[in-house]
Structure 1
Amino acid sequence: MDLMLVLATVWSLLAGPAAVPAPTTGYVWPLDPRPSLVRGYDAPPQPWAAGHRGVDLLGRPGQPVLAAGDGVVLFRGAVAGRGVLTVAHPNGWHTTYEPVTGGLAVGTQVRAGQQIATLTAVQSHCAPRACLHWGLLVAPDVYRDPLTLLRALVPILVPLTP
């Protein structure tokens, strides 16, 4: 098992449910085929500090961007010159996708794996490559690693005595 996954699991057991998203089912990769990870999630030390509040997934211009889970399109528009689309999921979490073009209208219900937009290289933070920046908000202004949606966290029992 991945050491970071073990540490995240132990942290979630010690810190409570807000620390790491609970194990989930029904979520899929937002690009198909399964993309390479270009840059991982890097939580900022403080909410206002620098960090990488999502993951960058290698794609190609014109590639369909897929809803990671069932939900409703909450936002479609430009942020800092990049096309962004946000999906609100039934559990209250939001997934974000950028840079994208087109996209479904706000209020459209989507299913996991359904095309919601198209990846563009315009304004890509991975230029000259096209990368999808995929984010996960579990509460207002509380970002978490979206890759946790794709892997179930396995509880690790740690003995209290040697």
Structure 2
Amino acid sequence: MIRVHGLYGIGRKRRLKAVCMLILMLALSLAQSISAPSRVCAQSREVNDQQDGAICPSAWDWPLAGPPPITKAFDNPSKPWLPGHRGMDMASHGGEDILAPQAGVLSFSGRVAGKDVVSLRVGALTVSFEPATTSLTPGDKVARRQVFAKVQGTSDHCDGRCLHWGLRKGKRAYLDPAGRIHPHRIVLKP
């Protein structure tokens, strides 16, 4: 007579041994990766070997030749209806080229509340600029670093002395564009 309980016990021991071997292999792999600096970048495989860890280039680029001077930083209000500065202002002059900070699709070009605005759709994000005008039409694809608009038109925001760069996820979640333009260091912490 075969005892089912005894067979189950043998299978269970084999499964436990296999799980232990898998955990040991993962632990060895992790130990090896911790001993050497990480060399993986989100956007690029470029590495600066002069420093500990990998230097990954910024995920996005400045929309103006630069980096331009920041005249007013991002100041997200604690509640959507409170005052704040939902973008970043950069010193600029009329007619200056606007470069796509990241590849996307032109989603809007026109006037909003008397201001000339151009917007790009980059994945789930909406990137907007004012004052800005473009000869492109909504739906046109824009490559990273491509000149797609000019700092011109009307805006009560900067009086012709700056370009406002806004970044939004969804309808009300405003983000700081500056967080996308700085290089990042990637290292594994023990």
Q: TM-score, normalising length from structure 1?
A: 0.74
Identity %: 33
Question: SS of the residue aligned with 1:101?
Answer: coil
Instruction: Check the 8 A contact 1:120/1:130 in 2, yes or no.
Output: no
State how far apart, in whole Å, the 2-side matches of 1:154 and 1:51 are. Answer: 30
One of 172, 179, 186 as aligned partner of 1:141: 172
SS, match of residue 148 in structure 1: helix
Higher relative contact order (CA 8 A, sep 6+): 1
Aligned ranges for residues 24-63 of structure 1 at < 5 Å? 25-63=58-96
Q: Which has the higher strand share?
A: 1
Q: 1:58 to 1:89 in 2, by over 3 A?
A: same
Instruction: Tell me the CA shift for residue 122 of structure 1.
Output: 3.2
For 1:76-121, what per-residue CA distance to the aligned partner results, in whole angstroms no more than 9, with x for missing partners?
110111111111113x111111111234210000011111111026
Q: Which runs of 4 or more aligned residues in structure 1 lie more than 6 Å from their structure 2 counterparts after TM superposition?
A: 155-158
Q: Which residue of 2 aligns with 1:95?
A: 127
Structure number with larger C-alpha Rg: 2
Larger helix proportion of the pair: 2
Structure 1: 5+ residue stretches without partners: 1-22
CA deviation map 1:38-73 (0-9, x unaligned)? 000001120111110000000111001111100000
Q: How does 1:64-75 map to 2 (within 5 A)?
A: 64-75=97-108
Q: Distance in 1 between matches of 2:141 and 2:170?
A: 21
For structure 2, list consecutive stretches of 5 or more residues without a partner in the other structure: 1-55
User: Which of the numbers 88, 105, 113 marks the counterpart of 2:145?
Assistant: 113
The count of aligned residue pairs is 135
Q: 1:5-46, CA deviations, whole angstroms, 9 ceiling, x for partnerless residues?
A: xxxxxxxxxxxxxxxxxx985411000132100000001120
The aligned residue for residue 155 of structure 2 is 123
Contact 1:56 1:131 in 2 (8 A): yes
CA distance in 2, matches of 1:54, 1:46: 15
CA contact (8 A) 1:70 1:112 kept: yes
TM norm structure 2: 0.64
